[in-house]
Amino acid sequence: MAATFQLEIVTPTKLLVKEDAEEVQLPGLDGYLGILPGHAPLITELGVGSISYKTGSGTHTLAVAWGFAEALPDKLTVLAEAAERPEDIDTARAEKAKRRAEERLQSSNPEVDYSRAEDALQRAESRLTIAKVTIAKDDR
Amino acid sequence: MPNVLDIRRRIRSVVNTRQITKAMKTVSAAKLRRAQEGAMAARPYSQMLANVLKSLMSRADTFDPDTGRPRHPLLAERPENNILLLVVTGDKGLAGAFNTNILKLVSKFIQSKPNANIDIESIGRKARDFMRRRYPLALLNTDDRGDQNVSIAGVGNAGVDNNERNDERNDERNGARNRAQDERSPAEERSSAERKGRVQIVAEHVGVLGKVEYSFPASIANRIVDRYMHEEIDAVYILFNEFKSVIAQRLVAERILPVKEIGEVDIHMAEEATEDEKRQRGEAAKAAGLNMRQADTSEIDNAASKFGTESVDYIYEQPPEQLFRNILPKYITTQIFHALLESVAAEHAARMTAMDSATSNASDMIESLTLVMNRARQAKITKEIIEIVSGAAAQ
């Protein structure tokens, strides 16, 4: 039995995950971080991407977008503005959001907020990737 | 002499009404339960957020050491010349005095600030209708960030239809706007816009309360933070029905900007429920088999309150100032989100109470009508007997 620490992933609407994890990878704002038990106290902002964590039952992946995380030696709490399990991702909707963001980026309308459109694009792409990876795994 | 048949017809109609009110009561009770759970589930996040902010506040230089003035614009207090007021009511009626009470408090609030310009943002159909009758419309260039691209919603994809609908509506609105102001940039438009009156409506949101998505308060928060930073508004209040439990409810006007103290609600006006209302609510809740007391949140709260408050030196991946700057607007969002969730729960509770008393009124009415009917029937029989007897006696 490997050493574990408590992992909590909280979104504005609910507590999504509360499990003992052996290892967690987070999309920090400045790049991915790996957290193992006994990590030094740390607070970081999160970017867009996937959180993957390893528990006794295997590795799980979640799509997250923004928020922040606090690591303590025996506990990791992630406050994510949005988090989703891969099986909950609606790929059709993500595709749609992606197309829309791309259109916005390409249009020359001065009212378009580029940074926001870019964020949206990034988010949609990340969700699609995560959804695809998981589906591929399930097929095998 | 009332006709027996007529009375019977009335009784039947009241019985039908009672059936409807009873069904509405049951539905409201179920919805209330769900709304309460939702509000509960949202607690850890907002609490943890507040904690992190608090601990960041002590670490980051949020105050200028020389002047003692806060560095972050959202903390700075200014004289309240321009106020933004968010009014939260329900979309539907038949909830007793729920909507009326809120709107009464709005009028009181506006009167209490006679020297300030007030922009109103109404949430809920009832608020919109009320405001439109009274105050001029000066819709801002509302750029609803939230529903533009909600790719990842906190709760999965249950709100797809809703978002898509919003998108369509938004597109239409954008289209119309683009046609109307081809030559003016939004910023120009904003600064040159003249006030339509001391009190004016700047935004309306209808049909968002059925299922409150986090993206909705996020879009409001983004906008008001933006306006606050540009000093277009000096304070933001939210007026809603606070809901702690079925019995513990009150109307409050809470100031959400500037942020006075993190984790503390800044209540400026409150109207407690009367004893009579409380009693009625209690009865309704009991009849619906709901837990009247405030649910036990101590476990969640305890766990949440530890977040980010350890007295250790954290490694900050980003400078604390930057973290603080990014998290503060989210704090505003959670506050609005909370207000919305509580208001929704309160609306269901109010409807449940109203329908409970309607049902018992109907029962009373049926009882007294039945009495009248029996009396009328008896009178009719007596009259017939007298007629027969006196007819027989006359022979």
- Say which CATH number the domain at A39 has: 2.60.15.10
Q: Greater confidence, B214 or B307?
A: B214
Residue of B nearest to A69 (CA): B308
Q: Please spell the DSSP secondary structure of chain A, one letter per residue.
A: ----EEEEEE-SS-EEEEEEESEEEEEETTEEEEE-TTPPPEEEEEEEEEEEEEETTEEEEEEEEEEEEEEETTEEEEEEEEEE-GGG--HHHHHHHHHHHHHHHH---TT--HHHHHHHHHHHHHHHHHHHHHHHHHH-
Pick from A39, A85, A111 the residue to mutate for testing the B interface (most B CBs within 10 Å). Answer: A111
The pLDDT score that the predictor gives to residue B327 is 82
A42 and B310 Cβ atoms separated by less than 8 Å? no
Range of the domain at A17: 5-84
Taking 60 as the threshold, does the pLDDT of residue B170 lie above it? no
Segment holding B255, helix H or strand E? strand B249-257
Average pLDDT, chain A: 80
- Assign B178 a pLDDT band (cuts: 50, 70, 90): very low
pLDDT of B193-249, one tens digit each?
567 778 888 888 888 888 888 888 888 888 888 888 888 888 899 999 988 888 778
The residue from A38, A67, A84 where one domain ends is: A84
The residue from A39, A62, A84 where one domain ends is: A84
The residue from A84, A99, A115 where one domain ends is: A84
> Are A25 and A77 part of one and the same domain?
yes
The pLDDT score that the predictor gives to residue B144 is 42
> Are A9 and A50 part of one and the same domain?
yes
Quickly count: other Cβ atoms within 10 Å of residue B90's Cβ. Answer: 24
> Are A15 and A35 part of one and the same domain?
yes
> Are A9 and A72 part of one and the same domain?
yes
> Are A102 and A38 part of one and the same domain?
no
- The answer to which of A118-122, B124-128, B306-310 has the lowest mean pLDDT is B306-310
Pick from B40, B140, B150, B152 the residue to mutate for testing the A interface (most A CBs within 10 Å). Answer: B152
* CATH number (domain holding residue A125): 1.20.5.440
- Nearest CA distance, B281 vs chain A (angstrom): 27
B136 and B200 Cβ atoms separated by less than 8 Å? yes
Tell me how many domains chain A contains: 2
> Are A14 and A69 part of one and the same domain?
yes
Collect all residues of chain A within an 8 Å Cβ-Cβ radius of residue B153: 82, 84
Residue of A nearest to B161 (CA): A93
Q: Greater confidence, A98 or A140?
A: A98
- Nearest CA distance, A21 vs chain B (angstrom): 18
> Are A21 and A76 part of one and the same domain?
yes
- Nearest CA distance, A109 vs chain B (angstrom): 9
A9 touches chain B (CB under 8 A): no
> Are A106 and A78 part of one and the same domain?
no
A116 vs B185: CB contact, 8 Å cut-off?
Answer: no
A45 vs B314: CB contact, 8 Å cut-off?
Answer: no
Q: CA nearest B333: which of B105, B50, B60? A: B50
> Are A33 and A61 part of one and the same domain?
yes
> Are A94 and A40 part of one and the same domain?
no
Residues B281, B272: Cα–Cα separation, whole Å = 14
> Are A102 and A53 part of one and the same domain?
no
Q: In chain A, which among 73-132 make CB contacts under 8 A with chain B? A: 77, 79-85, 88-90, 93-94, 97, 100-101, 109-111, 113, 116-117, 119-120, 123-124, 127
Segment holding B236, helix H or strand E? strand B235-243
> Are A99 and A126 part of one and the same domain?
yes
Select, from the ranges B30-39, B279-288, B359-368, the one with the highest average predicted confidence (pLDDT). B359-368
Its pTM stands at 0.77
Select, from the ranges A112-116, A129-133, B17-21, B275-279, the one with the highest average predicted confidence (pLDDT). B17-21
A42 touches chain B (CB under 8 A): yes
The pLDDT score that the predictor gives to residue B343 is 92
pLDDT of B316-367, one tens digit each?
878 877 888 788 888 889 889 989 999 999 999 999 989 999 999 999 999 9
